[in-house]
Structure 1
Amino acid sequence: MCHSVQVSAGDPPSGVVTFLFTDIEGSTHRWESDADAMRVALAAHDKVLRTAIDAHGGYVFSHSGDGIAAAFSSPMSAVGAAIDAQRDLQLPVRMGIATGEAELRDDDYFGTVLNRAARLMAAGHGGQVLVAESTAGLLSGVDLVDLGSRQLRDVPNPLNVFQVKCSGLRTDFPPLRTVDRTPGNLPRSSTAFVGREADVAEIVAALESRPMVTLTGVGGVGKTRLAMETAAYMSSQFADGVFYFELAAVTDENAVPDAVAGVLGITQQPGKSMTESIAAALEGRSRLLVFDNCEHVLDAAADLAEAILASADSVRIIATSREGLALAVEQVWPVRSLALDAAVQLFSERAHRVAPGAVLDDIDAVAEICRRLDGIPLAIELAASRMASMTAVEVRDHLDHRLKLLVGSRRALGRHQTLRHAVAWSYNLLDDAEKRLLERCSVFAGGFDLESACAVAGRPDADRYVIVDLLDALVRKSLIVVEHSSGRTRFAMLETIREFADEQLADRGDVAQARDAHARHFAGREADILDLWNSPRQREAYVWYMTELGNLRSAFRWAADSGDLDVAATIVTYLGILAYALENPEPTVWAEELMDSARAAAHPRLVGLYVVAALCWLTGRLEEAIAYTKAGTIAMQSPHRAVPFSSDGLFGGLYVSLGDVDRGISWYDTYLENHEDPIGIVRANRVLALAFAGRVDEAMAAAPDVVDVADASGNPYALSFALLAYGITFREADPEAALEGMRRGLVIAHESGARSNEAYLANNIGRLEASQGDMVAALDHLKLGIRINHSSGAIVALRSPLAILANILDRLQLHDQAAVIAGFAASELTAVVFPEFRDAVTRLREVLGDDRYEALARQGATMTTAAIATYALENVEDLRAALEPSP
């Protein structure tokens, strides 16, 4: 039902007021294109709005630009005015309505409700009336469409948003302009999407009947853009996010699972391949995965997709490739060239972007360009980029001249060859310096910054400003893409262009020189990145690592395959610190690969390689970790060893993790007698070991100094870890001080990006809060720890929050659930670190009986990490709901 309420205009309402904000969508463009017509339309617009507002007793208190703000004493009146106005308005007007307390001063209103109404209006589209929940709950007889909880710009908390539905009003609108963030890493496009809207709808429909759609076609035909637009359109359907994987940077098929795991933060599980580990981690997740550029790693991408879809029925995959992946569950979707009208529209849009004043005075010439380029979007964009200095007729004529091989014989050439000539045409228009830099930049995987471009440019005589000018020219000519979203300029190439430039680099005979420079550059970042890590700006080091992972992987691979042990070992050893803090295991595998060569050469990085390799214990590979630790301890006797930040002192942690705490303490004592510990990490580990061993007095005596050393160092990782050690040490003697210290550490770990410490601290805060009876807060912290450990696949670390949760469940008489979780959590380390867990297991055996306890524990022990994490989180949510006081 839809009706309006007629009331008389009166004095400005006060107290609880309903506000209506309006604005004309696209008004700037209308003024620019025809100011006289806009002036007439605006007068009619103002009359319609004021008439409707007056008829419903509203009070206009603001009229600025193309919008009106009005106040109503009745929510029904505000909605009635909006409906009546929308029916009569000729211009596309968006409207937002919200209700709340407001203060009236000097004929103007003040209060947060005004901002909500304005932001609600800004989220809508022309012809749309949006209503906040504060208003919707006060309406009767008005049809509303629930658009869900949405995050509006500059509004701190999400609002439930509704759309008014009524005859005479449009009902079909694009997605709201909100700032809701879907988990994941899907890139945002900065250019208009042209000519494929119907394809998006059809691919969405295909994904409703098939779990996977592969977009196939020639390079440059628009597969990637179509995949990303489809993924963006579907993003709200996937609670666990949309993730994009650029596989073009992966040159080795065996590295495909590692590349995907790196983006998702998954580590390899013991006894499983990386592919199996990814499939297990995605079980039960609602995610959309986009595998881009699969053609050169076809079998590996197919194997991974098949494993994921067999394990996770709530996951969907969009892939792009020159050909299908030959899977039974796959829907192959050929991406065709653009139709002529869409191709012309694309040329025009891109031409206006590079040359806003360009006049396309010969549409026939534009159409001929698009036909000659076979409607391939990349070729069209390259042609359009020349509109900065040519007319359409000149571009057409130049195209004829440069692409002679296409004339007459074009039908005999494949589309890839056609595109190759389009790229070659643009390449041949470059001067020699531009060509050389483009070729050199083809060695980058996943993008690059200015410093990296300077390093590989092969022009030692050129200063950075020369390279800036060259990059600027290549960006303007659409051969390099620039991206500013991170606050720093980053460059990249479309893959087809990168492949072409790489071929030219090979023809010139410069591949080895360029790739050597690339690898040496990333090895040479060690001092800068470790200085950044060892500073209050530590998060930037982690961001750099994840941003440059494709380049780091490529640099390591080239150096290792070329036998450049110095470069390869340097990359591995300094990245090990960052990878450990991020729970990213990839450098561990690299370290193991270099081990034989480094041993044979008695390389000064050998100890550092053993340190990184020994981190395999985090994924449950304990026997290998022990072997690396023993060998690394022997190698430490060498007078020539390069290990950053005393990371070799972490070998002792493995003994503690295996339950041999006394041996770990002895190891730390010996180490500290012979080595420096500049930021206190080794001493913090020793304090933890003392506390685990029951030598609490010694631990308490040492803990404050450890915190002071770490605090003075300015290193957030060291400080958050020292505060963890302090909190565990003082948890019984001074629980308030322990909580205060660990809560401070949690904030530091979260803000600095140290995921491993964030999880450790959250778990131990939850443990202490539970012991003090604050179960709701404890469960919130355990939930955080479980999610971090699960998302990274850190099996050993995941046992800690599960052990604490098992104890809580036991205390609350939920014995069956406690036994299931205890079965997965049980280990030597758990028994040492959490004595209350041992006590809980003893009680559970008494209450349940040995046979039932063993059966339930065996059930938990055989669960996958995805299953046990889901089970644990469900119990956390159920407990929290039961414990939360009723409102």
Structure 2
Amino acid sequence: MTSGLSADTSFVPAGVPPTGVVTFLFTDIEGSTRRWESDADAMRVALACHDKVLRAAIEAHDGFVFSHSGDGLAAAFASPSAAVDAAIAAQRELELPVRMGIATGEAELRDGDYFGTVLNRAARVMAAGHGRQILVAESTAVLLDGVELLNLGPKRLRDVTRPITIFQLRTQGLPCDFPPLRSLDADRGNFRPVGRRLVGRDDEVARIAAVLRTNRFVTLTGVGGVGKTRLALEVAGCLTNDFTDGVWVFELASVADAGAVADSVAAILGIAQQPGMSMCDSVAAVLENRKRLLVFDNCEHVLDATAGLVEAILAKSSTVSILATSREGLGVAEEQIWPVRSLSDDAAAELFVERAGSIAPGAAVHEMDAVTDICRRLDGIPLAIELAASRVSVMTLTDIRDRLDKRFNLLVGSRRSLERHQTLRHAVQWSYDLLSAEEKRLLERCSVFAGGFDIHSACAVAGPEYDEFAVVDLLESLVRKSLLTVDRSEQTARFSMLETVRQFAEEQLASCGAAEEVRNAHARYFAQLENTMLSLWDSPEQRYAYRWLALELANLRTAFRWAADSGDIDVAATIATYAGLLGIGVESYEPMTWAEEMIELAVAVNHPRLSSLYVVAAVCWMAGRLENALRYAEAGAAVVARNENAPPYGMEGWLGAAYLPAGEPRRWAELCHAQLERRGDNHVYIRGCRVFGLSFGGLVDEAIEAAKGLVEAGAATRNPYMHTFAIAASTFPLHAKGSDAGLEDCREGLAMALDSGNRFNASILALGMARFEALEAVTPEALEHLTLVLRNYHDSGNVGSIRSPLAVLSTFLYRVGLYESAAIISGFSMSPLAQAVLPEFSTSIAHLRTVLGDTTYESLASRGESMSMAAVAEYAYGEIDHARAELDRPS
């Protein structure tokens, strides 16, 4: 296998090329295309300097430059450490953001170029990184000594069969913090490794992992603050390779209402409620046959609801494992309880010294007797120890020990008779008492946030008497005192607090009578973000609006719930509508249920957001509630027709989409036509909806005519959702016509949808790509795009739309000769929606009847019709693999 880099004949390699086992260094400039386009002359100068620095560093460490790709080099080294030293030396001098990858293995040298699988691994390792980052494959890492390596875990890389464990090189003078690697693991769970080392639990981690491999449900129990969450995450990190569908973490601490547990879990997994099923059962159904580890964290306040969800999941799936943390067991039959104990004296002292040393180096290491005494008095509870260690910036160990005597008299003498949560409560109380009045106030007020907050949201609840810089100072102080944690991995710092601390602060907020005021401020803040977020959404930076929605969904849920329960229709309706509009693009359907809840109240007062609520609520046909969706569509259309507060961005066009699965697509087109006439404009979104309605209604020529100029109009909006929707609409009637004229537009639209986070439009465009690519014959590319659509709809629980790609799959399977599987899938797929999207579906079924015979076909189709969504999706994935094998078979 070649390196994949074209040889540059303009240079003569220096040095002696190593042979046998060789270490390869690959480099590349991040964002080089953009730099060339923005200032070619400056880039030309910078590249010359870049080449000079790289070559000098490589040659100084006996490296052999054997290939040049224009913006990067490939070099071979006889010594792994020499390759690392060269990379470090170069990174320290380079001004451009260069990413580097290093791997070691056997390679063959022929005519000045190298051949071997190790070159591909090195290139892929490099491609996974970011500018100024040095990544090292495990094949090299095991050969190194005396360098600091951060284990980023096993990663699946493109064109590499097995996951590669990748390490990040860390050294003085180079950046340490980078975004997640660009690997293929993005959809394999939301678990992220914890950066800080876990102290004193190595053996326990290994034992719990072993228990979880033989018991599908393990609950870590113990007092708050004993380290259950941290231990669970460490165990999950050890088991990532055991679960091909990923590790998923659900922080239930942010779920205040027990009834929202299943909704919260569903929101993270992207699951919508299925018709005739509770949300609990819907989650369980979608998880069927998935090889996943679910981590339910902080279950104690929603014990019964979590237990019910766990029982449903375990009953439905034999491949899902669950790790929970709670102050007590959940009482589920299959549960294996694992009590988490306090740290041993040695481990507790090590934790204190490490945390104190990060604040004031050397403050504790020479007074180990005092450290041991403090840790024993805190019963070895990690949270209490960390709170105590945080004070070394302003106290001696004697000061800390003396305050323990004064503040924690319950820990002395009779402490064995106390429950441990009281011990922890007094540790938190002690830390709280040391705060200034301003620090206490902000900590209490920030307890209303669910899932974290940023500086702006903290200012919103702090009160008008504090400006932004005063709030920043207070946040910094609370972080320093370990009452808040801060994540600086994104562009905006995000704060959170341990749940024990949050609950304590929430109690203080209630006791001072300010809870209602602050919760109102919290809800109003998230309501008034509407214009900001929708403006961001209506721009080329749209993906950041979607990221914000995912990040703040727990806060939006909390704010909506408070406003709705308090009777604040304005705030509740605002949150439901704009979160719902954002959610449509990423197939996040929870806000849809908020809109449904608000409709009756909004109708009663003829609320100005009524039409927007109807638009969001009408999406419920995707969750299988077609009758409700049709009612919302009819009522919403009547409201819009009265010119009363039309939804923004022409989203009223979406109202008629419910007619599609009802078998009346032309009504959608008629409704859009009426909307355009009423508005007196030619809004791109409503035009796109009309084109879809015409296409699905069989009026293909009329649809093609209506689509003229639509792509250009979509591009002019500079809104990726509108642009990609316009492309999807304009290309659909072309492949319905049997023409591939829209193939390149469709390809461009899919890339744009994926880049901007528009999962819904990506699904439509991927379905279009599959059909374009299979116009002449079914191809592997068509099957790949079809798989993307199925996974999107399956993972989000979009039972309303999934029948369309399944119908396409049925026709593909028929065309490659897999008649029985085509018949089975056709049984599930048969619907007005599938027949409208795919006119040739009926012809394919007629051919299947001819090939198989009516009796056999009916039997097979009946089998498919009786399948659950999870079962048919799993079956479809298997048959796609079968179809790929058929395509690979020699003619």
Bin the TM-score by the shorter chain.
0.7 to 0.9
Q: Does the residue aligned with 2:107 lie in a helix, a strand or coil? A: strand
Query: In the alignment, residue 270 of structure 1 is paired with which amino acid?
Result: P
Alpha-carbon distance in structure 1 between the residues aligned to 2:154 and 2:446: 41
Alpha-carbon distance in structure 2 between the residues aligned to 1:181 and 1:493: 31
Q: Cα–Cα, structure 1 residues 357 and 865, in superposed 2: closer, same or farther, change >3 Å?
A: same
Query: In the alignment, residue 569 of structure 2 is paired with which amino acid?
Result: L
Alignment of 1:541-560 (within 5 A): 541-560=545-564
Query: In the alignment, residue 731 of structure 1 is paired with which amino acid?
Result: H
Alignment of 1:6-17 (within 5 A): 14=17
Q: Does the residue aligned with 2:802 lie in a helix, a strand or coil? A: helix
**1:184-232 per-position Cα deviation (integer Å, ceiling 9, x unaligned):** 1113323211011111111111112210100001100000000000000
Q: Cα–Cα, structure 1 residues 100 and 494, in superposed 2: closer, same or farther, change >3 Å?
A: farther
How far off is 1:440 after superposition?
0.4
How far off is 1:659 after superposition?
1.7
How far off is 1:886 after superposition?
7.3
Q: Equivalent residue for 1:738? A: 742
Q: Equivalent residue for 1:206? A: 211
Q: Does the residue aligned with 2:735 lie in a helix, a strand or coil? A: coil
Match of 2:444 among 439, 444, 447: 439
Match of 1:422 among 414, 419, 427: 427
After TM superposition, the score normalised by the length of structure 1 is: 0.83
Alpha-carbon distance in structure 2 between the residues aligned to 1:736 and 1:590: 41
1:682 aligns with 2:667: no
Q: Cα–Cα, structure 1 residues 509 and 616, in superposed 2: closer, same or farther, change >3 Å?
A: same
How far off is 1:715 after superposition?
0.8
8 Å Cα contact 2:155/2:163 also seen in 1: no
**1:821-857 per-position Cα deviation (integer Å, ceiling 9, x unaligned):** 0011110111122110011112222222222212111
Match of 1:239 among 235, 238, 244: 244
How far off is 1:112 after superposition?
8.3
Alpha-carbon distance in structure 2 between the residues aligned to 1:795 and 1:803: 13
**1:499-518 per-position Cα deviation (integer Å, ceiling 9, x unaligned):** 00001111111000100000
8 Å Cα contact 2:612/2:646 also seen in 1: yes
Match of 1:99 among 86, 101, 107: 107
1:805 aligns with 2:809: yes
The runs of 5 or more residues in structure 2 that have no matched partner are: 1-13, 26-56, 66-76, 83-101, 127-133, 146-150, 166-179
Alpha-carbon distance in structure 2 between the residues aligned to 1:61 and 1:668: 64
8 Å Cα contact 2:378/2:411 also seen in 1: no
8 Å Cα contact 2:271/2:797 also seen in 1: yes
8 Å Cα contact 1:723/1:741 also seen in 2: yes
Query: In the alignment, residue 441 of structure 1 is paired with which amino acid?
Result: C
8 Å Cα contact 2:778/2:815 also seen in 1: no
Q: Equivalent residue for 1:46? A: none
Query: In the alignment, residue 761 of structure 1 is paired with which amino acid?
Result: L
Q: Cα–Cα, structure 1 residues 151 and 409, in superposed 2: closer, same or farther, change >3 Å?
A: closer
Match of 1:298 among 299, 303, 311: 303
How far off is 1:411 after superposition?
2.4
Alignment of 1:502-581 (within 5 A): 502-581=506-585
Alignment of 1:326-405 (within 5 A): 326-356=331-361, 358-405=363-410
Q: Equivalent residue for 2:866? A: 862
Q: Equivalent residue for 2:656? A: 652
Q: Cα–Cα, structure 1 residues 81 and 537, in superposed 2: closer, same or farther, change >3 Å?
A: closer
How far off is 1:101 after superposition?
4.0
How far off is 1:595 after superposition?
1.9
Q: Equivalent residue for 1:18? A: 21
How far off is 1:634 after superposition?
2.3
**1:221-246 per-position Cα deviation (integer Å, ceiling 9, x unaligned):** 00000000000011111100000000
Q: Cα–Cα, structure 1 residues 503 and 644, in superposed 2: closer, same or farther, change >3 Å?
A: same
Query: In the alignment, residue 340 of structure 1 is paired with which amino acid?
Result: D
Alpha-carbon distance in structure 2 between the residues aligned to 1:309 and 1:272: 17
How far off is 1:568 after superposition?
0.2
How far off is 1:771 after superposition?
1.6
Q: Cα–Cα, structure 1 residues 662 and 81, in superposed 2: closer, same or farther, change >3 Å?
A: closer
Alpha-carbon distance in structure 1 between the residues aligned to 2:559 and 2:251: 17
Q: Equivalent residue for 1:496? A: 500
**1:83-119 per-position Cα deviation (integer Å, ceiling 9, x unaligned):** xxxxxxxxxxx994442548979xxxx9989889998
Shifted more, 766-775 versus 619-628: the winner is 766-775
Q: Cα–Cα, structure 1 residues 621 and 111, in superposed 2: closer, same or farther, change >3 Å?
A: closer
Q: Does the residue aligned with 1:328 lie in a helix, a strand or coil? A: coil
Q: Equivalent residue for 1:762? A: 766
Q: Equivalent residue for 2:174? A: none
Q: Cα–Cα, structure 1 residues 17 and 160, in superposed 2: closer, same or farther, change >3 Å?
A: farther
Q: Does the residue aligned with 1:289 lie in a helix, a strand or coil? A: strand
Shifted more, 594-603 versus 257-266: the winner is 594-603
Alpha-carbon distance in structure 1 between the residues aligned to 2:498 and 2:824: 50
8 Å Cα contact 1:15/1:102 also seen in 2: no
Match of 2:224 among 219, 226, 234: 219
Alpha-carbon distance in structure 1 between the residues aligned to 2:121 and 2:854: 61
Match of 1:829 among 811, 828, 833: 833
Match of 2:857 among 853, 857, 878: 853
1:269 aligns with 2:274: yes
The runs of 5 or more residues in structure 1 that have no matched partner are: 1-10, 23-59, 72-76, 83-93, 131-146, 164-176
**1:374-403 per-position Cα deviation (integer Å, ceiling 9, x unaligned):** 100000000011112222222111222222
1:883 aligns with 2:887: yes
Match of 1:282 among 280, 287, 291: 287
Query: In the alignment, residue 458 of structure 2 is paired with which amino acid?
Result: A
Of structures 1 and 2, the larger Rg is shown by: 1
Alpha-carbon distance in structure 1 between the residues aligned to 2:305 and 2:516: 27
Query: In the alignment, residue 259 of structure 1 is paired with which amino acid?
Result: S
8 Å Cα contact 1:101/1:111 also seen in 2: no
8 Å Cα contact 1:746/1:758 also seen in 2: yes
Alpha-carbon distance in structure 2 between the residues aligned to 1:666 and 1:162: 55
How far off is 1:869 after superposition?
1.0
How far off is 1:611 after superposition?
1.4
Q: Equivalent residue for 1:778? A: 782
How far off is 1:357 after superposition?
5.0
How far off is 1:591 after superposition?
1.5
Percent of residue pairs identical:
49
Alpha-carbon distance in structure 1 between the residues aligned to 2:877 and 2:325: 35
Aligned residues: 785
8 Å Cα contact 1:62/1:70 also seen in 2: yes
Alpha-carbon distance in structure 2 between the residues aligned to 1:420 and 1:840: 68
Q: Does the residue aligned with 2:342 lie in a helix, a strand or coil? A: coil
Q: Equivalent residue for 1:7? A: none
1:407 aligns with 2:412: yes
Query: In the alignment, residue 760 of structure 1 is paired with which amino acid?
Result: I
8 Å Cα contact 2:666/2:696 also seen in 1: no
Q: Equivalent residue for 2:593? A: 589
Alpha-carbon distance in structure 2 between the residues aligned to 1:848 and 1:540: 51
Alpha-carbon distance in structure 1 between the residues aligned to 2:577 and 2:809: 36
Query: In the alignment, residue 575 of structure 1 is paired with which amino acid?
Result: A
Match of 1:482 among 462, 481, 486: 486
**1:769-825 per-position Cα deviation (integer Å, ceiling 9, x unaligned):** 112225222111111111111111111211111111111122223221111000111
Match of 2:614 among 610, 622, 633: 610
1:668 aligns with 2:668: no
Q: Does the residue aligned with 1:307 lie in a helix, a strand or coil? A: helix
8 Å Cα contact 2:251/2:298 also seen in 1: yes
8 Å Cα contact 1:16/1:102 also seen in 2: no
1:600 aligns with 2:608: no
Alpha-carbon distance in structure 1 between the residues aligned to 2:164 and 2:756: 38
Alpha-carbon distance in structure 1 between the residues aligned to 2:18 and 2:662: 66
1:710 aligns with 2:714: yes
Q: Cα–Cα, structure 1 residues 120 and 309, in superposed 2: closer, same or farther, change >3 Å?
A: same
After TM superposition, the score normalised by the length of structure 2 is: 0.83
How far off is 1:410 after superposition?
2.1
Query: In the alignment, residue 830 of structure 2 is paired with which amino acid?
Result: A
Q: Equivalent residue for 2:799? A: 795
Q: Equivalent residue for 1:621? A: 625
Q: Equivalent residue for 2:318? A: 313
